[in-house]
């Protein structure tokens, strides 16, 4: 079902409108600035207090090309988080996933997303439990099976990421373009990639730096394999666990959604969540694969699984290699797991070599 955007935030937060949206009587609405630890791309958050804190509490996320460098890096000119909701794809998510979006609105040249406040269910920056990790991987498989080879993904209005944007958003050109902005990440991107020549063997560094400048060979190789809806930012900061009744994954921030082979998701998730996994990356991949096989049935084929996995893992280092290098050396982020990240760097080096064979 397609949905309409509210003309303004003021109209969306009107008590009468919220009463209908939330299915409860709303008499008062107040907003307060909110500082989120992992909000690094330039969006702005507000806490929306309903009925003096006694109703359903909400979060308002304001986004625009002017303030969000990641939107600029991925050519997100229509706000794909909003478009996925407006075009009804978020309503089509499997039962294993909750997107928490209540409504969306225009806000000048930007947009505003109203979400249920699920902050008490979001994952901490700590090792996942075995059951939680399996729930997340099964939800990933459910998402990918639901939209596997779906013609809906070709809808232009969705404004999905292009695969090459996925692999250039954390590149040196992006870092240089955005380095003067207020957010730290673009500067760290440059720092990390500058160190890659001394952090990994020369053959790996040469390939990665070449693909960062021109990711088309990787993008063209991935085009050969089945596509699905990939969330694109599969990291703990965007995730929570709902354990009341039907256990499911809360999955926020669809800003980097892309039509791509499933392993593009694995590459990103294993890269950014590496230190939080309760099992090895090989075990995580095997569990995800097993769940995908069950959900796809006859649509699963080993002939495409192996090459897209190798390419997706190569792409994972193309996205997060800069951060892995920094965490393995001197960055305060990940400092408590320095030895893990040093070993991780060796693991990703081998994945890059394995993926190169399929380019």
Residue finishing a domain among 119, 154, 172: 119
Q: Are residues 20 and 166 in the same domain?
A: no
Q: Are residues 163 and 75 in the same domain?
A: no
Tell me, yes or no, whether 207 lies in a domain: yes
Residue finishing a domain among 62, 86, 119: 119
Please answer whether residues 167 and 319 qualify as being in contact, where contact means their C-beta atoms are separated by less than 8 angstroms.
yes
Per-residue model confidence (pLDDT) at position 183: 87
Tell me, yes or no, whether 86 lies in a domain: yes
How do residues 106-119 score in pLDDT, each as one tens digit? Answer: 999 999 999 999 99
Identify the residue with better confidence: 245 or 187.
187
Tell me, yes or no, whether 225 lies in a domain: yes
Q: What is the rounded CA–CA span in Å between residue 47 and residue 36?
A: 11
Q: Are residues 183 and 275 in the same domain?
A: yes
Q: Are residues 28 and 167 in the same domain?
A: no
> Where residue 189 falls among pLDDT bands split at 50, 70, 90?
very high
Into how many domains does the chain fold? 2
Helix (H, G, I), strand (E, B) or coil at 342: helix
Q: Are residues 181 and 84 in the same domain?
A: no
Comparing CA positions, the residue from 233, 228, 250 lying closest to residue 241 is 250
How do residues 246-267 score in pLDDT, each as one tens digit? Answer: 899 999 999 999 999 999 999 9
Q: Are residues 231 and 317 in the same domain?
A: yes
Report the CATH number that the domain containing residue 104 is assigned in CATH. 3.30.200
Residue finishing a domain among 84, 119, 154: 119
Q: What is the rounded CA–CA span in Å between residue 141 and residue 176?
A: 36
Report the CATH number that the domain containing residue 170 is assigned in CATH. 3.90.1200
Per-residue pLDDT for 300 more than 80? yes
Q: What is the rounded CA–CA span in Å between residue 168 and residue 182?
A: 20
Tell me, yes or no, whether 2 lies in a domain: no
Q: Are residues 51 and 129 in the same domain?
A: no
Q: Are residues 208 and 339 in the same domain?
A: yes
Between helices 302-329 and 338-356, what is the axis angle to 10°?
140
Comparing CA positions, the residue from 154, 168, 157 lying closest to residue 72 is 168
Q: What percentage of the chain exceeds 90 in pLDDT?
A: 91
- For the chain, give percent helix, strand, coil, nearest 5: 50, 15, 35
Per-residue model confidence (pLDDT) at position 105: 98
> Where residue 41 falls among pLDDT bands split at 50, 70, 90?
low
Q: Which residues of 314-336 are buried (b: 16+ CB within 10 A; e: fewer)?
A: bbbbbbbbbbbbbbbbebeebee
Per-residue model confidence (pLDDT) at position 42: 67
Helix (H, G, I), strand (E, B) or coil at 250: strand
Please answer whether residues 97 and 38 qualify as being in contact, where contact means their C-beta atoms are separated by less than 8 angstroms.
no
Tell me, yes or no, whether 4 lies in a domain: no
pLDDT averaged over every residue in the chain = 95
How do residues 45-104 score in pLDDT, each as one tens digit? Answer: 999 999 998 889 999 999 999 999 999 999 999 999 999 999 999 999 999 999 999 999
Structural domain including 102 reads 9-119
pTM of the model: 0.95
């Amino acid at each position: 079902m397609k949905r309409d955007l509210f003309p303004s935030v003021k109209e969306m937060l009107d008590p009468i409108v919220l009463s209908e949206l939330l299915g409860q009587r709303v008499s008062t609405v107040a907003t307060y600035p909110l500082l989120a630890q992992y909000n690094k791309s330039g969006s702005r958050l507000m806490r929306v207090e309903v009925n003096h804190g006694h109703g359903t509490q909400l979060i308002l996320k304001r986004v625009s090309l002017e303030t969000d460098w990641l939107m600029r890096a991925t050519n997100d000119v229509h706000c794909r988080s909003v478009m996925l909701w407006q075009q009804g794809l978020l309503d089509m998510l499997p039962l294993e996933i909750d997107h928490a979006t209540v409504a969306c609105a225009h806000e000048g040249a930007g947009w505003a997303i109203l979400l249920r406040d699920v902050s008490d269910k979001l994952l901490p920056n700590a090792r996942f439990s075995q059951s939680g990790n399996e729930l997340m991987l099964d939800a990933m498989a459910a998402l990918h099976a639901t939209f596997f080879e779906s013609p809906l993904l070709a809808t232009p209005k969705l404004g999905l990421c292009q695969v090459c944007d996925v692999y250039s958003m954390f590149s040196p050109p992006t870092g240089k373009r955005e380095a003067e902005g207020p957010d730290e990440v673009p500067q760290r991107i440059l720092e990390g990639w500058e160190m890659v020549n001394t952090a990994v063997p020369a053959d790996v560094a040469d390939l990665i730096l070449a693909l960062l400048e021109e990711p088309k060979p990787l993008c063209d190789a991935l085009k050969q394999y089945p596509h699905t809806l990939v969330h694109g930012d599969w990291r703990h900061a965007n995730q929570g666990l709902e354990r009341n009744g039907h256990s499911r994954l809360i999955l926020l921030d669809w800003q980097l959604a892309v039509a791509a082979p499933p392993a593009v998701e694995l590459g990103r998730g294993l890269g950014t969540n590496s230190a939080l996994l309760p099992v090895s990356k090989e075990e995580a991949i095997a569990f995800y694969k097993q769940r995908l096989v069950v959900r796809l049935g006859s649509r699963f084929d080993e002939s495409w699984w192996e090459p897209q996995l190798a390419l997706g893992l190569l792409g994972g280092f193309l996205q997060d290699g800069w951060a892995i290098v920094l965490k393995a050396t001197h960055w305060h982020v990940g400092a408590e797991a320095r030895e893990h990240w040093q070993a991780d760097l060796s693991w990703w080096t081998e994945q890059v070599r394995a993926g190169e064979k399929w380019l």
